[in-house]
Structure 1
Amino acid sequence: MFGIVLAYYFQTIQLLRISAYLLTALLLIAASINLFYKKLKAWRFKTSLAFLYYGFFAIAGIFTCLFNSDQLNSDYFANKNFNQLKVWISNEPQINGDIARFEAKVTKGYFGGKTETCSGTLLIALKVDSLHPLHLKYGDEFLITAKYLPVEPPYNPNEFNFKQWLASKNIYHQTFIRQSQLIKIAENRGNPIKAFALRLRQQQVNVYRKLIKNDEAFAVASTLILGHRADLSKETLSAYSKTGTIHALSVSGMHVGIIYIALNFLLGFLDRRKATLLIKVVLICVLIWGYSLLTGFSPSVLRSAIMLTVFILSKQLNRSSNGYNVVAFTAFCLLVHQPFLIWDVGFQLSFMAVIGLIYYQPKIKKWLYFKNKWTNKLWETTAMGLAAQLATLPLSIYYFHQFPVYFIISNLFILIPITLMMYLGIAILLLRLYFLAPIFEYLINFTNRGLKRIADLPYAGITEIWINRWELILLAFFLLLLSIGLSNYKRKLILLSLVVLVVFQGCVAYRKINFMHQEELIFFSLRKNYAAAFINGNQCILITDLTAKDRNFEFFVKPALDEMEIKKTIFVTWRQDFRNEQLIKSDHQILYRGKSILLLDENFNNKRLASPAKFDWIWVHNNPKYKLDDLAEEIKPSGVLIDASNKDYMISQLSKRAILLNLSAYSLKKQQALHLKL
């Protein structure tokens, strides 16, 4: 893991070559030591040998990461300027309205009548013709125009890093094309096993669609049983998220575990003899891997399938299986196959949850004991929820910025319904017991209603918790030290953990105090809209054409305001006058904390300023025809802000002209947001 992380941030072809040479040398040394172990009396150098093998695996991680990085390949498609590319769809297309998005493997490039073999993955957004829609599926091969661009980085503070997320999937370029720019030339280009699994899954989704009337229940059923990405409403997603049960909506270890329990019980009659026991083991492994294939081999299912396979085989071979070794072996297998999985949030959380179950669950279970069998089972289940939540706490707060207060209640509430839903859903598909569909649908609706009620309870969740990477490390270090200290009765470790906690709380408190006294100005970089946040303490005046429910506001603007702990946001439009103690907006002018901004728009066309005054900034909006030269001479600003409401050619012309006039020019489209601390 150390080698993979290190190589990820230093991706060069030179490092790949060096790691290959070092790996070969270390492999030869290790093989020689193994062959002549007794002659060399190598047992005398155990510590040195340990470091040798640690180094070997670190170098192996570096090599694996770089070897799997497409952009380092000499035939990577973006290294040359092709006119056309031959691609095939490498994942299941996602269609939203008239836009289809999918990943495509590039195999060939065409330029000037020449053909070259290529490699790499391209993210494609395709505008589908509504009159003649194109049916897209995994494995379809196309010829497309080669008009791709590098994936754009985040331009605004705390905006989701789409570029980094795609890079973790080995994708570095994207394109937007119309259906007329695409020619279908073949089918069934991909892996035949995966293609069969996706076709089979789609058939099962169609069965659910016919049987389940409620759209929300259908979406939950498809997601829960088959791992099919369905359009769940924001309300339902929010309910599962706030109650700490979002894991139930992604096919994961819990689902595979439920299937294993059922299979182990149903095939229990085969335990009597060794020969039949072997048949049982093979059947369970085959069925579990078959289910994993059907769900698209998601990281969490792969992890569970590998772990269960190792666990089952070790039991069959009468060998004691160490839980940590099983986890490490599973992670090793997955990362050798796909090293970039290390950045997958689901991968990180699922492994931490399993480690928590191995370490914390037995200890928490010992806290209480009940004579009643079912009460004790309930406590054991509660201990599992506490263990998983405790182990994933730092990462959950870091990624999702919230903590579900009632997670124990909600996880106990869904325990029986989720189990019944899994068994009913699979029985409907495999045994064609269609008469169970109304019960299945009722159970889903009952679970959704129950979780929504829990989510609506007072103080159901602590939201908008923001910690940085250093605070994440401190929080994780505190939990680690405290756990080891309490487990082994080490007072020094417990005291050290408390010191780390105080440092963590001090860092958080310091940020909160700073936020209470912050005076900042942010001009956001948007695609078509405009937004400027005038921040004073925990309040913000936002001059924008967006609303609180607008998707662009939630994606580009809100994360920055949440991270800065803004409690109150006042929305003001371009043409709206506004006045309070901090800001005055009137007559195309803004005065804020001693800074003045002239709002230049189409109303200034063919006019002159009535009373020229000095302004710190000119904010250009909606393609005004006013000459920047005359304006700059009259008011002598220090800079020009050009928002995304202007046309691209206007943005380019104004930026060039401002530079010639020795003015700072800031384009607020496809450029970094302007963040000023006053």
Structure 2
Amino acid sequence: MINATLIKIAISLIAGIVLGFYFKFPVPSLVAFGMLLFIAFIFSFFRARKLFFQDIFFGINCALIFLFLGFLSTSLHLPENDPNHYLHQVSKNPSVSGERLIAEVTEKLKPGLFQDKYIVSVKSIQDKKASGKILLNITRTPEVQEFQPGNLLALPFRVSNINTPLNPHQFNYRAYMANLGVYGQLNLNRNEVLKMELSNSGIRSIAGQVRNKIISELRRHEFAPQELAIIQALLLGQRQDISPEIYSNYAAAGVIHILAVSGLHVGIILLLLNHLLKPVERIRYGKPIKAILLIFLLWGFALLAGLSPSVVRAVSMFSFIAIAMQLNRRSSVLNALFTSLIFLLLINPYFIFQVGFQLSYAAVLSIVLIQPHLFGLFTPRYRLVKYMWGILTVTIAAQIGVLPLSLFYFHQFPGLFFVSNLVILPFLGLLLGLGILVMLLAVVGLLPAFLTRVYGEMIELLNEFVSFIASKEDFLFQEIYFSALLLLASYLLVFSFVFLLKKFNYNNIVFLLIATGILQIGFIYEKNSAKTEEGIIFHKSRNSILGEKTEHQLVLHHNLDTSAASQNLIKDFKTGRNIQHIREIPLKNLYQIAGKTIFVIDSSGVFDITGLNPQVVLLINSPRINLDRLLTHLNPEILIADGSNYPSYMSRWQKTGLQKNIPFHATGEKGAFIFYSSEEILTEE
């Protein structure tokens, strides 16, 4: 039976964690409040033991305790409550740059076009103990020397903020890194980074060395470059060498998840090991021994994969499930799932905002709750058909669980994901099992050439199939608008569907109908809420784009040589604002948008127009003007300079604006400027 208490505890804990990120209190005050709460909990516990008929007092106290634990866990992880965090050093002396920082490489990220990227954990600053994570960007040079997890580096202490997007609805890399606990970055040249001779000898360093040994041994065998790149991603979680084309193909085919060693891989390996260790159950204490062996082997795989955060998270989750599987009850797996959720969030509350964490738990929970019911709809006579039906129902159940999150974060849906998963998943266990064997044989120098060829051809066949599926572009639905409101309404519908599968009765049918109605209301609300007219001055380097949005339409005025709608910044805005139609018009000098008059002054510098009194003056293409005279003549409410202007010009314009007490907005610094018809005072975003 499912332990409802665990579900309530998990919900309370998650609520406390989320609140902890938005409401900040000093840790001593929280500890004092926690002591009072604990006293109330002890009182309610002994009171409950004496009651024959229980009331809700004890339940409320339990919920409050875990709500508090979530809040406290978050507070303890926030930089402001860590006196040794490097951000305190930056705030004390923002101009400091000569101090030396010692940091350990904890993770190697996918490199950019010109930089290698790492996450490093700060150990000391100027020989004083320090903490915190930093994004390290190192300019790539011909003599590339990559650093590995466990390496200790000496770096100049020149921390800066991670850049935020300059246009609305673009990917927010700063927020993404903040969800990993990374709040600053270092942009350095290679000669500024000193690798210390003594590296950290901890478990992460050992894991990195093991993974590097495996990769170097695999490179000695005759794998094609892209085959080796897929092998590294499939087995070791290293996606750095995958070409953008192949990566895009896997995303379009709906199987991008197999290129990240996470819950799917660990779950398949657990099933394989569980089957292989079946004979252990026959001996005395066989099931406890089997559970210990499963956990040991799972963490052995995590070591091979370099103990990356996603692998550690997945193995932690499935370690609980491995124990529950020995009880042979579906409810035990569910209880283990919620127990692992509580355990992981108490250790690291940042997990709750990480997309991989959310997708993993949504997929596993959906499979456990929905797949058995789907599988029971049809009873195949033949074993092969039964196996394929099982794969299909697992795929459908997982997709039901992750679809709302996928639409919310990625705004696309691969229509052929059923086909690609139905073909790939039955063989993924073989690919993983054989791949682990290939790795082990390569490390000990016993990998035969024929096995290299066979495994390489299997990977090549996988790439060709994925490329074939991805080429069917008509089945890839992109730029799908899906808001947070629709996300919540969708999961309400999923929960109602699960209840109906569990027990088909009148109440659950009503619940499903209500959830369906709420989702429809959500769509109607989103459609009607888009009626606000707005104007947008986008940031585009060396060009100008002015947008006029009315309901679900966007008119773009620009001076680009190509279509503005093909620009990523416009695609992101189109999806984020639920825009259905885009029209493009060459840029003019005078506009009336959202009730505001916008005067565009280009390189011609013409502005002396009698009777013109614009609220917004937009400077483009670095006009040579006397700004003091312009502001006196036009007296605008705000002065805006977009990305087509020289930085030196904008610096002078900003000073003049300050002298005239007129706000100055540079899109290259503050991002796109947005104004609405319902507002008298202009706002910026």
Q: TM-score, length-normalised on structure 2?
A: 0.85
Which one scores higher on RCO, CA 8 angstroms, separation ≥ 6?
Answer: 2
Paired residue for 1:561?
Answer: 574
Three-state SS of the structure 2 residue aligned to 1:6 is helix
Return the offset for 1:542.
5.0
Matches within 5 A, 1:227-376: 227-274=237-284, 280-298=290-308, 301-314=311-324, 322-376=332-386
Three-state SS of the structure 2 residue aligned to 1:175 is strand
Paired residue for 1:176?
Answer: 187
Return the offset for 1:476.
1.3
Give the distance between the partners of 1:503 and 1:408, measured in 2 at CA. Answer: 28
Letter in 1 for 2:155: I
Residues 548, 490 of structure 1: CA spacing in aligned structure 2 closer, same or farther, 3 A cutoff? farther
Name whichever of 214-223 and 204-213 sits farther off: 204-213
Paired residue for 2:117?
Answer: 101
Paired residue for 2:645?
Answer: 646
Give the distance between the partners of 2:563 and 2:586, measured in 1 at CA. Answer: 22
Aligned residues: 649
CA contact (8 A) 1:70 1:119 kept: no
Paired residue for 1:71?
Answer: 80
Residues 526, 599 of structure 1: CA spacing in aligned structure 2 closer, same or farther, 3 A cutoff? same
Give the distance between the partners of 2:649 and 2:40, measured in 1 at CA. Answer: 64
Match status 1:524 vs 2:538 = yes
Match status 1:127 vs 2:135 = no
1:409 to 413, 419, 426: 419
Return the offset for 1:592.
5.8
CA contact (8 A) 1:369 1:376 kept: yes
Give the distance between the partners of 2:549 and 2:322, measured in 1 at CA. Answer: 58
Letter in 2 for 1:50: G
Identity of aligned residues (%): 25
Match status 1:489 vs 2:504 = yes
Tell me the alpha carbon deviations over residues 418-457 of structure 1, each in whole angstroms, 9 at most, x when there is no partner. 2222122212111233422222222222222223323333
CA contact (8 A) 1:88 1:142 kept: yes
Tell me the alpha carbon deviations over residues 377-422 of structure 1, each in whole angstroms, 9 at most, x when there is no partner. 2212211111111122221211111223232222111123322221
Match status 1:19 vs 2:27 = no
Letter in 2 for 1:338: N
Give the distance between the partners of 1:45 and 1:238, measured in 2 at CA. Answer: 57
Letter in 1 for 2:537: F
Residues 100, 89 of structure 1: CA spacing in aligned structure 2 closer, same or farther, 3 A cutoff? farther
Three-state SS of the structure 2 residue aligned to 1:188 is coil
Paired residue for 2:149?
Answer: 138
Residues 324, 66 of structure 1: CA spacing in aligned structure 2 closer, same or farther, 3 A cutoff? same
CA contact (8 A) 1:526 1:670 kept: no
Give the distance between the partners of 1:44 and 1:497, measured in 2 at CA. Answer: 33
Name whichever of 43-52 and 345-354 sits farther off: 43-52
Tell me the alpha carbon deviations over residues 217-245 of structure 1, each in whole angstroms, 9 at most, x when there is no partner. 22221111111122433433333333332
CA contact (8 A) 1:417 1:443 kept: no
Q: TM-score, length-normalised on structure 1?
A: 0.86
Paired residue for 2:492?
Answer: 477
Return the offset for 1:676.
2.9
Matches within 5 A, 1:501-516: 501-512=516-527
CA contact (8 A) 1:26 1:56 kept: yes
Three-state SS of the structure 2 residue aligned to 1:101 is strand
Give the distance between the partners of 1:323 and 1:309, measured in 2 at CA. Answer: 11
Residues 208, 658 of structure 1: CA spacing in aligned structure 2 closer, same or farther, 3 A cutoff? same
Tell me the alpha carbon deviations over residues 130-151 of structure 1, each in whole angstroms, 9 at most, x when there is no partner. 4x65542323333433322233
Paired residue for 2:9?
Answer: none
Paired residue for 2:451?
Answer: 436
Three-state SS of the structure 1 residue aligned to 2:674 is strand
Residues 568, 212 of structure 1: CA spacing in aligned structure 2 closer, same or farther, 3 A cutoff? farther
Residues 544, 118 of structure 1: CA spacing in aligned structure 2 closer, same or farther, 3 A cutoff? farther
CA contact (8 A) 1:584 1:591 kept: no
Letter in 2 for 1:395: L
Return the offset for 1:317.
7.7
CA contact (8 A) 2:486 2:519 kept: yes
Give the distance between the partners of 1:629 and 1:49, measured in 2 at CA. Answer: 70
Name whichever of 644-653 and 593-602 sits farther off: 593-602
Paired residue for 1:56?
Answer: 65
CA contact (8 A) 1:140 1:184 kept: yes
1:385 to 395, 404, 410: 395
Match status 1:10 vs 2:10 = no
Tell me the alpha carbon deviations over residues 270-319 of structure 1, each in whole angstroms, 9 at most, x when there is no partner. 44322676655443321211112332445654454344433444566899
Give the distance between the partners of 1:637 and 1:252, measured in 2 at CA. Answer: 55
CA contact (8 A) 2:148 2:208 kept: no
1:201 to 207, 211, 214: 211
Give the distance between the partners of 1:456 and 1:567, measured in 2 at CA. Answer: 25
Give the distance between the partners of 1:204 and 1:66, measured in 2 at CA. Answer: 40
CA contact (8 A) 1:258 1:419 kept: yes
Match status 1:165 vs 2:196 = no
Residues 195, 274 of structure 1: CA spacing in aligned structure 2 closer, same or farther, 3 A cutoff? same
Give the distance between the partners of 1:109 and 1:546, measured in 2 at CA. Answer: 49
Letter in 2 for 1:399: Y
Paired residue for 2:6?
Answer: none
Letter in 1 for 2:169: N
1:214 to 221, 224, 231: 224
CA contact (8 A) 2:44 2:61 kept: no
Return the offset for 1:603.
4.7
Residues 26, 60 of structure 1: CA spacing in aligned structure 2 closer, same or farther, 3 A cutoff? same
Letter in 2 for 1:2: A
Name whichever of 3-12 and 445-454 sits farther off: 445-454
CA contact (8 A) 2:210 2:306 kept: no
Return the offset for 1:342.
0.7
CA contact (8 A) 1:223 1:250 kept: yes
Residues 513, 333 of structure 1: CA spacing in aligned structure 2 closer, same or farther, 3 A cutoff? closer
Give the distance between the partners of 1:149 and 1:399, measured in 2 at CA. Answer: 27
Give the distance between the partners of 1:48 and 1:506, measured in 2 at CA. Answer: 36
Return the offset for 1:524.
1.9
Residues 97, 303 of structure 1: CA spacing in aligned structure 2 closer, same or farther, 3 A cutoff? closer
Paired residue for 1:614?
Answer: 612
